[in-house]
C-alpha cells in the first residue's frame, strides 16, 4: 500500500518540506518557507509541473505548517489531512542517546531538547518544527532522523579527542559527525550500482557543499568522518575554517581583544573559502575569480582541494583500502574542476579520472583501468528521512542512554 510521508527540515527562519509517495519515493510536492517571523516571508511550492512563489506574513513555524496544509488541500494536492501517513524530521544532534531514528513521543522530545546545548543553533529549531507538525497532525506518526546517528559505529579510539578524559565523562566531548543521512544515502546508492559480491564495500563519501564532510564507510558502517564535536571540524568549508591549530584561537583572541563568541563567529561565519578568498563563500564565484587570475581565489581552491585529498588519503588508511570514492552535494555534484583537482592528488591509489566522463552527467567517471571507482551521485536526504518513517516501527524509544 502506498503512503504519503513528509520529510521536514526546520531551520531558524525556514521550513523545507517534501511530501513523498512511499515506497515509490516519488516527490508529490516540495518547497520552502523562508524568512519565517517576518511580514514578508517567502513561500515556494512545486508540484507536478507547477511552481508558485509568494510573499506573505508568516510569524511562526506553526503558521507556516498550518498554511502549508491548507495550501495542499486548496490546490488539490491532497484531498484530506487523513492521507498523510507520517512525518519525518531532520534533527541535527542525537548525541550518544540516539543511535537510530526514533518515533517521537514526549520522552524522545525531551531527550532531544536535553541535547540542545550540543547544537544550540539547530536542535531547538528542529524541536519547534516537530511541535508545529504534532499540533497540526496530532494522530500522525512522527519520526526524528538524526544527522549524527549514522556515525554511532565509530570506535572510541577514533571519536575521543586527546584532551583530559574527564571532559568526555563530564560533557560528552567527542566526535559525533554530521551529514549522516547524506552519507547513508550515498552508501546505499553506490552499492546498488556496484556488482553484487559477498565481501562488503569500502566507500569514501565526500559531501562537498557549503558545509562539507567526508565519511569512511566499511560495509555500511561509518568508521570515521571529518566533522567532529560540532560541524565546524574537518574540511575547509564555505565560511567555516575546519580543523586549525587550536592555539590560533587564544592567540587571535588576545591580539584582537575578541571574546569566545567573537571567535566562534570568526571560525564559523568569516573563515573557509570566504575568509581566504575575500570574495565569496560560493565556489562558483571563486572559480570565476581564479580563472580571471585572482591569486587568493586560486589559493582558496588549492587549500580546499588539498584538505579533501588529505582526508580521503587518511580514510583509505582507516579502511585499509577503498573500492569507490563518491562526490555529492553542491560542489561535489557540480564542479568537475574540483573533482579533477582532488583526483589528481590521489593518483598514488592508481585512481584515474576520465575527464570526458567527469564533464558529463555520467555516474561513474573513472577510466576503465582505474583501480578505484569514482562516482558522482546527487544526495537525497529527504528520501532517507521518508524511508526511516516507514522503517522505524517500535513505539518504545529505540535509543540507549549512556548518560546515567
Q: Where do contacts with ligand AMP occur on this chain (CB under 6 A)?
A: 209-210, 238, 282-284, 329-331, 334-335
In the complex, minimum distance from the CB of residue 289 to ligand AMP, in angstroms, rounded to a whole number: 13
In the complex, minimum distance from the CB of residue 220 to ligand AMP, in angstroms, rounded to a whole number: 23
In the complex, minimum distance from the CB of residue 288 to ligand AMP, in angstroms, rounded to a whole number: 10
Angle subtended at Cα 234 by Cα 383 and Cα 293, rounded to the nearest 5 degrees: 100
- Is residue 354 annotated as a catalytic residue, yes or no? no
Closer by beta carbon to ligand AMP, 111 or else 212: 212
In the complex, minimum distance from the CB of residue 64 to ligand AMP, in angstroms, rounded to a whole number: 21
Closer by beta carbon to ligand AMP, 18 or else 142: 18
In the complex, minimum distance from the CB of residue 35 to ligand AMP, in angstroms, rounded to a whole number: 18
* Nearest residue (beta carbon) to ligand AMP: 330
Which of the residues 40, 66, 147, 388 is marked catalytic? 147
In the complex, minimum distance from the CB of residue 221 to ligand AMP, in angstroms, rounded to a whole number: 24
Closer by beta carbon to ligand AMP, 99 or else 281: 281
Cell of 25: 519515493
Write a three-state SS string for the chain.
CCEEEEEEEECCCCEEEEEEEECCCEEEEEEEEECCCEEEEEEEEEECCEEEEEEEEECCHHHHHHHHHHHHHHCCCCCCHHHEEEEEEEECCCCCCCCCCEECCHHHHHHHHHCHHHCCCCHHHHHHHHHHHHHHCCCCEEEEEECCHHHHHCCHHHHCCCCCCHHHHHHCCCCCCCCHHHHHHHHHHHHHHCCCCCCCCEEEEEEECCCEEEEEEECCEEEEECCCCCCCCCCCCCCCCCCCCCCHHHHHHHHHCCCHHHHHHHHHHCCHHHHHHCCCCCHHHHHHHHHCCCHHHHHHHHHHHHHHHHHHHHHHHHHCCCCEEEEEHHHHHHCHHHHHHHHHCCHHHCCCECHHHHCCCCCECECCCCCCEEEECCCCHHHHHHHHHHHCCCCCCCCCCCCC
Closer by beta carbon to ligand AMP, 282 or else 355: 282
Closer by beta carbon to ligand AMP, 31 or else 95: 31
In the complex, minimum distance from the CB of residue 176 to ligand AMP, in angstroms, rounded to a whole number: 20
Closer by beta carbon to ligand AMP, 221 or else 296: 296
Closest CA to 352 of 389, 328, 325: 325
Closer by beta carbon to ligand AMP, 126 or else 281: 281
- Catalytic positions are 147
Amino acid at each position: 500500500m502506498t503512503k504519503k510521508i513528509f520529510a521536514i527540515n526546520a531551520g531558524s527562519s525556514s521550513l523545507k518540506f517534501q511530501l513523498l509517495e512511499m515506497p515509490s519515493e516519488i516527490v508529490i510536492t516540495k518547497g520552502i518557507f523562508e524568512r519565517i517571523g517576518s511580514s514578508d516571508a517567502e513561500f515556494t511550492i512545486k508540484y507536478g509541473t507547477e511552481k508558485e512563489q509568494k510573499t506573505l506574513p508568516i510569524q511562526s513555524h506553526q503558521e507556516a505548517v498550518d498554511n502549508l496544509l491548507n495550501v495542499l488541500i486548496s490546490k488539490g494536492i491532497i484531498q484530506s489531512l487523513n492521507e498523510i501517513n507520517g512525518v519525518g524530521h531532520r534533527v541535527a544532534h542525537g548525541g550518544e542517546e540516539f543511535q537510530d531514528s526514533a518515533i517521537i513521543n514526549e520522552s524522545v522530545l525531551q531527550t532531544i531538547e536535553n541535547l540542545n546545548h550540543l547544537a544550540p543553533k539547530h536542535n531547538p529549531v528542529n524541536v519547534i518544527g516537530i511541535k508545529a507538525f504534532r499540533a497540526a497532525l496530532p494522530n500522525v506518526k512522527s519520526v526524528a532522523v538524526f544527522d549524527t546517528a549514522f556515525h554511532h559505529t565509530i570506535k572510541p579510539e577514533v571519536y575521543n579527542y586527546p584532551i583530559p578524559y574527564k571532559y568526555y565523562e563530564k560533557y560528552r566531548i567527542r566526535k559525533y559527525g554530521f551529514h549522516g543521512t547524506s552519507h547513508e544515502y550515498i552508501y546505499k546508492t553506490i552499492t546498488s550500482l556496484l556488482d553484487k559480491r559477498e565481501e562488503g564495500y569500502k566507500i569514501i563519501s565526500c559531501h562537498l557543499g557549503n558545509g562539507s564532510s567526508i565519511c569512511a564507510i566499511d560495509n555500511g558502517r561509518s568508521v570515521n568522518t571529518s566533522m567532529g564535536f560540532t560541524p565546524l571540524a574537518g574540511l575547509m568549508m564555505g565560511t567555516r575554517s575546519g580543523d586549525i591549530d587550536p592555539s590560533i584561537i587564544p592567540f587571535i583572541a588576545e591580539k584582537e581583544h575578541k571574546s569566545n563568541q567573537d571567535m566562534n563567529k570568526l571560525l564559523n561565519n568569516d573563515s573557509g573559502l570566504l575568509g581566504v578568498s575575500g570574495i565569496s563563500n560560493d565556489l562558483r564565484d571563486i572559480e570565476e575569480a581564479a580563472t580571471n587570475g585572482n591569486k587568493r581565489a586560486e589559493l582558496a581552491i588549492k587549500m580546499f582541494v588539498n584538505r579533501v585529498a588529505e582526508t580521503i588519503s587518511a580514510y583509505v588508511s582507516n579502511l585499509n583500502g577503498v573500492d569507490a570514492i563518491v562526490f555529492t552535494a553542491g560542489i561535489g555534484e557540480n564542479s568537475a574542476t574540483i573533482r579533477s583537482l582532488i583526483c589528481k592528488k590521489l593518483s598514488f591509489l592508481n585512481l584515474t579520472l576520465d575527464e570526458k566522463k567527469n564533464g558529463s552527467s555520467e555516474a561513474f567517471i573513472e577510466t576503465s583501468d582505474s583501480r578505484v571507482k569514482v562516482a558522482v551521485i546527487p544526495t537525497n536526504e529527504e528520501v532517507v528521512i521518508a524511508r526511516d518513517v516507514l522503517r522505524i516501527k517500535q513505539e518504545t524509544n529505540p535509543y540507549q542512554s549512556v548518560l546515567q
